[in-house]
Amino acid sequence: MIKGILTVIDETFDSLTAMEQRVARFILDHPQDMVHISVQKLAGLTQTSEATIVRLSRKFRCKGFKELKLRIAADLFVPARENAEFQQVNVGSPTGELMESVAHNSVKSIQDTLAILSAEVMDEAIEVLSRARKIALFGIGASAVVAEDFKHKTARINRWCEAGYSGDMQAIIAANLTADDAALCISYTGENAEVLHAMRIAKRNGATVISLTQLGLNPIAEHSDIQLFTSTLEQNFRQGAMSSRIAQLYVIDLLYVGLVSRDYESSLASIEKTKRAVQSLHPGRESDSQNN
């Protein structure tokens, strides 16, 4: 179950239909009123239908309107964090202010992603990756950097990963996947055509597809078997891209730690083995790779 339902509603607002946005806007503006309101009254206040409200509830991964109200009530009991708004990074600001803003936004991106991640879905993704014969990694541009980080980490624990950073290479890797394999598809927008093409090939070959995208409706999440989300962070000055990368790396670290925990003794042995192998290349000094 995704946590932080008010965050989910806020961040998926633009992807909703006009009628659904009426309901969502009322919820965001009057969350306290939602605890005791009936579906009939909400439909009247928003000039929508009961069917629209039920459909919207299910879109937010709730079984129905009752569960939606319970999750809103749970959100209201969570104390608001100080200075919780995303801070703009303004060109020409003093260096000290830039340092504070970037640090704040990076922390916020992790906190917001934690609020919307589901432990159950994360467990499912870790289990699939743990069982996979081979893991394919698909990501373009900034997402390729995140994919490379995961590839490096999993190489340390003797996991077979193949990463494609171009459309052609992703398609080639996907064409050779089987039902014993998994594909991790990384795209902040969830709309990258090359990643989407590769994941469709992977699915046709029977591989289990895991997506890592921003929260909301998008083609890559829609066509994947397991959906992992980061919070929606795009802002001006590309600060969204900076913070979204931090959020993606946070999820990658969760997957890696989960894999290590699943097979701790073997993973630890592999980490030590790879550490010694790299150190033997540079006798007398610590290996940089163990910290990367």
Q: Is the dihedral of CA 124, 140, 133, 221 positive or negative?
A: positive
pLDDT in tens, 14-30: 889 999 999 999 999 99
Structure confidence at residue 56 (pLDDT): 93
Find the domain containing 180 and state its range.
Answer: 116-275
* 7-21, 84-98, 228-242, 258-272: least confidently modelled range: 228-242
Answer yes or no: pTM beyond 0.85. no
Structure confidence at residue 118 (pLDDT): 83
pLDDT in tens, 81-110: 544 565 566 667 788 888 887 888 888 888
Please check whether residue 87 lies inside any domain of the structure: no
Structure confidence at residue 237 (pLDDT): 43
Structure confidence at residue 90 (pLDDT): 65
CATH code, 42: 1.10.10.10
CATH code, 248: 3.40.50.10490
Q: State the DSSP string of 60-120.
A: TT-SSHHHHHHHHHHHHTSPPPTT-SPPP--TT--HHHHHHHHHHHHHHHHHHHHHH--HH
Domain boundary at 76, 106, 125, which? 76
